[in-house]
Amino acid sequence: MTTLAPCISVLGTASDVGKSIVVTALCRIFNDMGISVAPFKAQNMSNNSFVVDGPGDDVGEIGRAQVAQAEAARIAPHVDMNPVLLKPMTNVGSQVVVRGRAIGQSSAAEYGNRTKALRDISLECLTRLRQQYDLVVMEGAGSCAEVNLRARDFVNFEMAKQSDASVILVADIDRGGVFAQVLGTLDLLSDAERRLVTGVVINRFRGDATLFSDGIDFIEKKGRVKVLGMMPHIRNIGIDDEDAVVLDKGIQQLDDHSTERLTVGVIHLPHISNFTDFKPLERCGAVHLKYLEKGADAEGCDILMLPGTKSVPGDLRWLRRQGFDARILAHVKAGKPVLGICGGYQMLGRRISDPLGIEGTPGEIEGLGLLDVQTELAQTKALSRRCGIWLDANVQVTGYEIHQGRTMRLDGAQAVVRMTDNGELEGARSRDGLVIGTYLHGLLDSAAFLQMYLQKVNSRITVDKASFETDMQGEDAYDRLADIVRNHLDIPQILADAGMRMASPGKERFDVLRAERGL
């Protein structure tokens, strides 16, 4: 019988307390110690996804956070690391993706009836990871103590109980009420759940940590639990975020615009997806990046970009209500470029039809009419990793496609990419070249492409290829994060709580031992 690897489960007192970043850091720290480690999140809710390896030679999509965690662990991301992905389409409904493939849409109420089957699938995926690796670091979702959801919550303590995981509870001191967060969460747990909690991490601490020593004593005595450390408030580490919460908390408005930098405005659609397409712009010294919420925000932008979305017809109607349609038309009339990616590409065309109601009520909606293309949403989702040549500059581009639209170029529309694997022509451009649409996510990750694109607006713009591509590889960011967390958390204790110890002093190799735990 195959021995299953132990698990560490990182759960939260609430959403956005920093669970993802803790898991990412632990994956890099453990890998640096010679431990074969994999990340896992049974169910994720995010429109920020990525195409990864799936069963056999297939591919699928998972949440971007688990991709970052796998990169931190120096392993290839796989659909087993995030078996269930919910991609919100409305305030009450989501597309359900299981082991990388969309299986349909579900309201929140309907989804509750599926959780038993999804739990079983998630456990199968977790078991496979435990058979392949020395250690699995699991991430929970939201608050782990939502009593009204407990019967159908298979992400948090259900996975921890099934794998006998040591549970680390993460709280965010920056939002206030950290004592209530920790002690209130512990008080709401069952005895079986409470016994699994081996420690607490206090995240986003600002200032002199010694001033909180009495707070640590209070939590440890009142909660009968160890405080494993306090992580500082980490900003701009350069690692992809799990979802668009980071955009909702504050639209980036930089004020140091100069003639040597271009202002790029990305329209912040309500159901924005894969906003990591624009992360390279944050790291590019030649760009001043803004996320725009209303049409007037587009004033002064040199380039406008339309991102992907999980609700193209609905977000197109929102775009018009906010006055973006007139602003975009005026922008193009002024000779300034527009780039649309995925759903944004579809919006730039003549019309979008959704006969099956894939993204809402069946019907048809007029696009912005800036590209001679039309799109029909289809039941089957296109998922692929792609490589091609940008036709008007002979620049190699790589990326991935995740979309349910089938877009057809009409008379007058020219393609922008020729794929190297099959010669397929992809995307479209206007006759004057100002308006471009493509399904290729990750297009801006290439320094060569980005410089070529920006220089069409300002020929003096340069992109430092060496530093830009080093940043895009993420290795420095993972190492910086690991260094910070290693210095603030009790890593030996975390491993001991998971039942792992060094095989012999001075060796970076660990034996897996099941340890008796209890408070």
Catalytic residue positions? 342, 441
Strands 43-45 and 84-88: parallel
Task: Please report, to the nearest 10 degrees, the dihedral formed by the alpha carbons of residues 280, 281, 287, 290 taken in order.
Answer: -160
- What's the rounded Cα separation, in Å, for the pair 491 and 28? 12
Beta strands in 308-453 (DSSP E): 308-309, 338-341, 351-354, 363-366, 373-390, 395-409, 417-419, 425-426, 428-429, 435-438
- What's the rounded Cα separation, in Å, for the pair 237 and 253? 18
Q: Any idea what DSSP says for residue 78?
A: B
Instruction: Give the N- to C-terminal CA distance of the chain in Å, as an integer.
Output: 31
The stretches of 167-253 forming alpha helices (DSSP H) are 178-188, 191-196, 213-223, 245-248
Crossing angle of helices 178-188 and 213-223, in 10° steps, is 10
DSSP letter string, 19-75? HHHHHHHHHHHHHHTT--EEEE-SEEE-S-EEEEE-STT-EEEEEHHHHHHHHHTTS
Q: b/e per residue, 402-418, with b = 16+ CB within 10 A?
A: bbbbebebeeebbbbbe
Give 327's contacts (C-beta < 8 A, 6+ positions apart).
295, 296, 298, 299, 304
Q: How many CB atoms lie within 10 A of CB 291?
A: 21
DSSP letter string, 341-373? ETHHHHHTSSEEEETT-TTSSSEEEE---SSSE
Q: How many CB atoms lie within 10 A of CB 296?
A: 11
What's the farthest any 2 CA atoms get from each other in the chain? 73
- What's the rounded Cα separation, in Å, for the pair 288 and 65? 25
Cβ contact 276:244 at 8 Å: no
Token reading at 171: 């709280």
Task: Please report, to the nearest 10 degrees, the dihedral formed by the alpha carbons of residues 180, 185, 191, 192 taken in order.
Answer: -150
In DSSP terms, 306 is beta-bridged to 340
Instruction: Give the closest residue to 101 by CA, choosing from 157, 159, 56.
Output: 56
| Integer-rounded Cα radius of gyration of the chain | 24
Quote the distance between the C-alpha of residue 317 and its chain's center: 25
